[in-house]
Amino acid sequence: MTLVLHQHPLSSFCWKAKIALYEMEVPFQLGAVNLQDEASRAAFYALWPMGKMPVLEDTAAGRAIPETSIIVEYVQARYAPSAGLIPADVDAALRVRLLDRVFDQYVMEPTSRIVAENFRGGEDPVGVAMADALLARSYDYLEAELAGRSWAAGDAFTLADCAAAPSLFYADKVLPFRGSHPVLGAYLGRLEARPSFARTLREAEPVMHMFPGRKAA
């Protein structure tokens, strides 16, 4: 078995995949993607024409698997069936998948919109305000949803937590919530202390200065 995760060290979705792979204790290699380099970009697009990271290449099977949640399901099904990141129970699995979507679409997506606006020069205040409003609603929802739980979907660490860790880490940098949402803040603290995420953060330290955050008001 040779698994290669094609990724960028600051990408939240790449972090999500790495956390899951570390949790499953499945060996893998990192493949750096440089979209500014023509040869690297062409090789990556040959794996996945949509050009979004990460992509997991299973060289033994001759397959390239895109989309982070699908990567996690693929690895668990084939290489770590007892990992439990997606529960066997149908109802529990649906709850995990729902929260996975919440963190990806309603936390990471508006966070990415705010950061992207910084790159563009901050000329879309309406778009940024809409992203802030969506984040605020998500924080309120998650503050109530996670109350009384150790992890996102219950007592066990799952795919939902793999999605939550990078999403909340970056969201807290563009619209801080630890002071206003204590449940969510404490949950992020537990995520940061989790060995799989702590390792991911350490590995990103050399390039964290490149994260632009949001445009200063």
Q: Which stretch of DSSP H or E encloses residue 165? A: helix 159-174
Collapsing DSSP to helix, strand or coil, 32 comes out as: strand
Domain boundary among 19, 45, 79: 79
Same domain? 52 vs 117: no
Same domain? 202 vs 116: yes
pLDDT mean over 181-186 = 98
- The range of the structural domain enclosing residue 159 comes to 90-210
Asked if the model's pLDDT at residue 209 lies above 70, the reply is yes
CB neighbour list of residue 114: distance below 8 Å, 6 or more residues apart: 128, 131, 132, 174, 175, 214
Residue 30 belongs to domain with CATH number: 3.40.30.10
Same domain? 149 vs 94: yes
Q: What is the mean pLDDT of the chain?
A: 94
> Is 216 inside any structural domain?
no
Same domain? 124 vs 54: no
Asked if residues 57 and 64 have their Cβ atoms less than 8 Å apart, the reply is yes
- Verify cis geometry, omega within 30 degrees of 0, for the bond prior to 182: no
- Give me the percent of the chain exceeding a pLDDT of 90: 81
Asked if the model's pLDDT at residue 1 lies above 70, the reply is no
Q: Which residue has the higher pLDDT, 85 or 208?
A: 85
Domain boundary among 79, 111, 135: 79
Domain boundary among 79, 111, 130: 79
Same domain? 109 vs 161: yes
* Rg, the chain, Cα only: 17
Residue 94 belongs to domain with CATH number: 1.20.1050.10
Same domain? 75 vs 95: no
CA-nearest of 144, 28, 163 to 85 is 163
For residue 50, the number of C-alpha atoms closer than 13 Å in the C-beta half-sphere is 8
Same domain? 66 vs 137: no
- Report d(CA 48, CA 176) in Å as an integer: 34
pLDDT mean over 56-69 = 96
Q: What is the pLDDT of residues 63-120, one digit of tens each?
A: 999 999 999 999 999 999 999 999 999 999 999 999 999 999 999 999 999 988 876 6
Asked if the model's pLDDT at residue 122 lies above 90, the reply is no
Amino acid at 216: A
